[in-house]
A and B are shown apart, each in its own frame.
Chain A
Amino acid sequence: MPQGLQLFPQQASTIAKHVDWLYFFLIAVTIFFATLVCVLVTFFMIRYRRGAKVDRSNPVNHSTTLELLWTGIPLVLAMVIFAWGAVLFYAIQTPGQGAMEIYVVGKQWMWKLQHPAGKKEINELHVPLGKRVRLTMTSEDVIHSFYVPAFRIKKDVLPGRYTTLWFEATKLGTFHLFCAEYCGLGHSRMIGRVVVMTPGDYEKWLSGGGNEEPLEVSGERLFQRLACATCHREDSKGRGPSLAGVFGTSVRLKSGASVVADESYIRESILEPQAKLTAGFDPVMPTFTGQLGEEGIIQLIAYIKSLARKPDSSAPPTPPTSH
């Protein structure tokens, strides 16, 4: 196909071909209906133009059968597209177990990425081929959107909360990474790339360069330095609740409601501790707004997550899907 007229860009992730099948089906439906309507309009225009000698003695102005047909058929088609789309959409939104976790922070106008082993990158994401990668994303300032066309993924990156995205690359090489949501004057320059490597190369790449420490270790150090540990003790005798095992569980609040302790909840607990008070505790936790950047918060979250894994080393708790 000529380059300027492709039907879709290359496919480079496991979901891409599924998305494209639905897309091709839609193209078929569209061509059918668009042709039908345009041909009929033209045909009627010619056949029933003023002065043409055709039988007009019995004008049809209403036909219940016809009307039911052309309500019913599009409705059934629409429902087929809906069912197909919905099933696929769940699959695309649910990362499943055992994905490798990478944190993304967007800001005007760059992407900052952090690997679990601590390696940091800017505007570049290295991932291993054939492994599920789950991105947990947030923004420092305004709304951005993480878009990798070849993987058929796109998700807004919002300040103040975490959104997630997953993919599994099926091709080695370099792929475009864009910001799709208008985010200020430098928006069109917010370009990055995703480099897919063989798992071996990826390991080598990870261990190259400075010896970064894993996120949860940096998180633990922050936890000590900011004196979180004075209140949050493992033995549940502190002024705050023990954070061991809390991630991914449901927390009962003073208001009587309960919430799942996901990334966004932990972030909120750190920056706005009074917003959702845990049942059974006094509102004594100070806010850490202004003392922590998004990266620091992510390190703390990684640490608190790692606490959740410790007591029971078998299956990690299922991370909640995005909200």
Chain B
Amino acid sequence: MESASNGHGHEHGHEHGHGGDHIHPPPSNFLTKYVFSTDHKVIAVQFFCMGFTMFLVGGLFALLLRWQIAYPFQPLPFGLGEVIYASAPGHTMPPESYPTLVTMHGTVMVFFVIIPLLTGAFGNYLIPLKIGARDMAFPLLNMLSYWVAVPAGVLIIMAFLSEAGGPGAGWTSYPPLSALPQASPGSGAGQTLWLLSIFCVGWSSIMGGINYLTTIINLRAPGMSLTRMPLSVWALFITSVLQVLATPVLAAASILLLFDKLLGTSFFLPAGINVGGQAIAQAGGGNPLLFQHLFWFYSHPAVYILVLPAMGLVSDIIPTFTRKPIFGYKAMAYSMAAIAGLGFIVWGHHMFQAGMNPYVATSFMVATMVIATPSSVKVFNWLGSLYGGSIRFTTPMLCCLAFVSMFIIGGLSGVFLAATPVDIFFHDTYYVVAHIHYVVFGGSVFGIFAGLYYWFPKVTGRKMSEFWGKVHFWLSFVSFNGVFFPMHILGIGGMMRRIADPTIYQHLAPLQSWNVYITMFAVVLGFSQFIVIANIAVSLLRGERVGENPWEATTLEWTTASPPPYYNYLQIPTVHHPPYEFSVPGMESDYIVQSAPPRSA
């Protein structure tokens, strides 16, 4: 590590202004300061507000779905049906709403909650601060990436409210179902708006990714060599590579599907198809599997876009609360790179049952089995980080511990799904739903909570309430497991996903009580989130004021004021230490910030 003490990259920074030493005055105009701001910190907060609002929207969708599964077509409690299903007969869920809600829940959570929160909010806030830069390399592009995500959010809500019916082909939107309004009422204007929205949000992602890559490569402070970067920066770097390489494929897929819908092309429609006995004139020459390949070529890397940044956040937080460097820094960085690299050649594991040649399936299977290895390396390294530490059970730390133990469960259920003979049974059942949620909720969402509690003092200058944080954590953790663990049992029992009414299946009758318990826990899980909102609101006004470094952490963001000034650092720091110098033997203080003067050896 000694060899890397000279900061390359920084020298180029001077010419580009924002990495350089001169300081711009902050904008004085309200509009440029808070709305069309180019300040990465403001943009991060904007992304956070959007992501968190959408989290509530997506959560509401989920609760409506859960009610329907537990009590199919029965009125909502407390007369809520009269408000939510005001125009429906009997004020119960109309049949066409279920698929729309499934589609919206998945889409909102993936594209408008997790990705914006992890890369848009945390990525934006932390990258420049953690590498010692004044802002992103392209502040204007950064602003654009937010202001493209906003119309995307508006479009997705418009899609939902579309008069002809909201999109209803699932977040995966496979054609021909998604292409033909004859096949599903939501596949008209609703699906078209969905596609436009995904196209926009994809652009936002690409712009963000390019910006992060450029920033991390060029604007690192002197001495911030690659091997001194905090793991969160590594994670965001690798995530950005995925975003930049994979998202264009999603954009292409959505454009082709838009053409099929609007221009009468037939990329995904084979000859001779009929819907309800009505021949589809435009169909011919297309291949519905092509869409699946394009979609998963993006969406498998995308699931790692959903989790790698959270892994990074957790890897930054754990050392602070164990007072001990992360275990195996290099292995942590390499394993993330390995996950990302392999992540590009495993997309076919979503299509094992889609009529794929068994030889091709096997090659996807081997890659998927291999990708489980770096994932397990990470888990063991986090365990190693606890070993011999001095653990402080703060709320962010609890969230990190939840992350580690829930992620391992999700990873292990992934191995069942990767074993093709077993996946034959589990594909398209609730087992997959359980898997998804253990990695994305148990993993990413707890990672986001950890990050929220941990960096809130930096962003606002005030701490969140620890007490209410812990209440929120424990309620969420217990009800999370109450909701998603039984879904494994439902999957094993053969309950298919995306079914509006499990009670019409004879074989599911003995399992229906699980569905009722799950829904009860889901309500608790949903309402627990109001605690964190209240905590944010109250803490903003009355939280305990904190100084620069309330957690006694080591990375650069903790060396500037809380909240940081517009220009982040009065003087660009010089980095002399690796990112997690805790409890160094023979030192008085148990932590050394990265920019502390070098130890005289």
User: Do the beta carbons of A48 and B177 come within 8 Å of each other?
Assistant: no
Question: Which residues from B are CB-within-8-Å of A158?
Answer: 288-289, 354-355
State whether A56 touches B500 (Cβ < 8 A).
no
| B422 contacts A78, C-beta separation under 8 Å | no
Q: How far is the CA of A6 from the CA of B354 in the complex (A)?
A: 28
The chain A residue sitting closest to B381, CB to CB, is A67
- Taken together as a complex, chains A and B put the C-alpha atoms of A155 and B115 apart, in Å, by 32
Q: Is A303 an interface residue (CB 8 A)?
A: no
- Binding stretch for chain A, among B145-153, B320-328, B557-565: B320-328
Residues of B within 8 A of A242 (CB): none
User: Among residues 52 to 86 in chain A, which have CB atoms less than 8 Å away from a CB atom of chain B?
Assistant: 52, 54, 56-63, 66-67, 70-71, 74-75, 78-79, 81-82, 84-86
For residue A297, CB closer than 8 A to chain B, the reply is yes
Q: Binary interface profile of A, 217-245, with partner B (CB < 8 Å = 1, else 0)?
A: 00000000000000000000000000000
CB closest residue in chain A, given B401: A41
Q: Is the CB of B169 within 8 A of A48?
A: no
Query: What's the minimum C-beta distance from B24 to chain A, rounded to whole angstroms?
Result: 40
> Which of A5, A48, A289 has a CB less than 8 Å from the CB of B284?
A289
Residues of B with C-beta under 8 A to A82? 365-366, 369, 419
Is B358 a contact partner of A93 (Cβ separation < 8 A)? Answer: yes
CA distance A52 to B510 in the complex (A): 48
Contact segment of A96-104, A117-125, A144-152, A206-214: A144-152
State which of A184-192, A194-202, A247-255, A308-316 sits at the interface with chain B: A184-192
Contacts of B377 in A (CB 8 A): 67, 70-71, 74
Q: For the complex, what is the distance from the CA of A67 to the CA of B329, rounded to whole Å?
A: 11
Complex CA distance for A297 and B354, rounded to whole angstroms: 22
**CB–CB A9/B493 < 8 A:** yes
In the complex the two chains form, is B183's CB within 8 Å of A141's CB? yes
B433 nearest CB across to chain A (Å): 13
Output the least CB separation between A198 and chain B (Å). 24
Question: Is there contact, CB below 8 Å, between B183 and A74?
Answer: no
| Contacts A19-B422, A86-B365, A181-B428 given; does A142 touch B356 at CB 8 Å | no
Give chain B interface residues in 274-297, CB to chain A under 8 Å.
274-276, 279, 284-289
A22→B423 CA distance, assembly (Å):
11
Interface stretch of the complex, out of B43-51, B52-60, B248-256, B387-395: B387-395
Q: How many B residues face the partner with a CB closer than 8 A?
A: 106
Number of A interface residues in the complex (CB < 8 A): 104
A86 near B420 (CB under 8 angstroms)? yes
Decide if A323 touches B356 in the complex (CB within 8 Å): yes
Chain B residues positioned under 8 Å from A94 (CB to CB)? 358
A108 at the interface (CB under 8 A from B): yes
Closest to A86 in B: B362
Asked whether, in the complex, the Cβ of A268 is within 8 Å of the Cβ of B369, the reply is no
B383–A141 CB distance below 8 A: no
A60 and B384 within 8 A (CB)? yes
B185 at the interface (CB under 8 A from A): yes
Bound-complex Cα distance A44 to B498 (A): 40
B422 in contact with A48 (CB, 8 Å): no
Of B288, B401, B510, the residue contacting A4 (CB under 8 A) is B510
Report the minimum CB–CB distance from B372 to chain A (whole Å). Answer: 5
Q: Cβ of A257 < 8 Å from any Cβ of B?
A: no
* A126 contacts chain B at the CB level, 8 A cutoff: no
B-facing residues in A295-323 (Cβ within 8 Å):
297, 321-323
Once bound together, how far apart are the Cα atoms of A140 and B272, in whole Å? 8
Known: A45-B386, A61-B327, A185-B99. A176 touches B492 (CB 8 A): no
| Partner of A289 from B180, B185, B272 at Cβ < 8 Å | B272
If A41-B401, A50-B392 touch, whether A79 touches B369 (CB-CB below 8 Å) is yes
Provide the residues of chain A in CB contact with B226, threshold 8 Å: none
Nearest Cβ in chain A — how far from B452, in angstroms?
A: 22
- The reply to whether B428 and A141 contact each other, CB–CB distance below 8 Å, is no
Tell me the smallest distance from the CB of A66 to a CB of chain B, in Å: 7
Given known A149-B425, A153-B424, A185-B96, contact A272–B358 (CB-CB < 8 A): no
Q: Is the CB of A89 within 8 A of B272?
A: no
A140-193 residues with Cβ-Cβ distance < 8 A to B are 140-143, 145, 147, 149, 152-156, 158-161, 163, 176, 178-185, 187-189, 191
In the complex where A82-B366, A289-B272 touch, is A44 in contact with B383 (Cβ < 8 A)?
Answer: yes
Q: In the complex the two chains form, is B272's CB within 8 Å of A45's CB?
A: no
Name the CB-closest residue of A to B389.
A48
A139 surroundings in chain B (CB, below 8 A): 273
Mark out the residues of chain B between 313 and 362 whose CB falls within 8 Å of any chain A CB in the assembled complex: 322, 324-329, 331, 353-358, 361-362
B273 touches A140 (CB 8 A): yes
Known A19-B422, A143-B176, A185-B99: A59·B507 in contact at CB below 8 Å: no
| A9 pairs with B494, CB closer than 8 A | yes
Structural contact, B176 and A44, CB atoms closer than 8 A: no
Whether A49 contacts B393 in the complex (CB less than 8 A), given A82-B365, A181-B428, comes out as yes
Contact A34 B176 (CB under 8 A): no
- Measured in the bound complex, the distance between the Cα atoms of B496 and A189 in whole Å is 12
Are the CB atoms of B514 and A4 closer together than 8 Å?
Answer: yes
- Contact check, A49 vs B391: say whether CB atoms are below 8 A apart: yes
11 other contacts beyond A26-B419, A67-B331, A81-B415, with CB at 8 A cut-off?
Answer: A40-B386, A49-B393, A59-B583, A70-B376, A82-B419, A85-B422, A86-B365, A90-B358, A143-B176, A145-B353, A180-B353
Using CB atoms and an 8 Å cutoff, list the residues of chain A in contact with chain B: 3-9, 15, 18-19, 22-23, 26, 29-30, 33-34, 37-38, 40-41, 44-45, 48-52, 54, 56-63, 66-67, 70-71, 74-75, 78-79, 81-82, 84-86, 88-90, 92-94, 107-108, 139-143, 145, 147, 149, 152-156, 158-161, 163, 176, 178-185, 187-189, 191, 267-268, 271-272, 275, 287, 289-290, 292-294, 297, 321-323
B interface, CB within 8 angstroms of A: 95-96, 99, 102, 168-170, 174, 176-177, 180, 183-185, 269-276, 279, 284-289, 322, 324-329, 331, 353-358, 361-362, 365-366, 369-370, 372-373, 376-377, 379-381, 383-384, 386-393, 401, 404-405, 408-409, 412-413, 415-416, 418-422, 424-425, 427-429, 489, 492-494, 496-502, 504-507, 510-511, 513-514, 583, 585
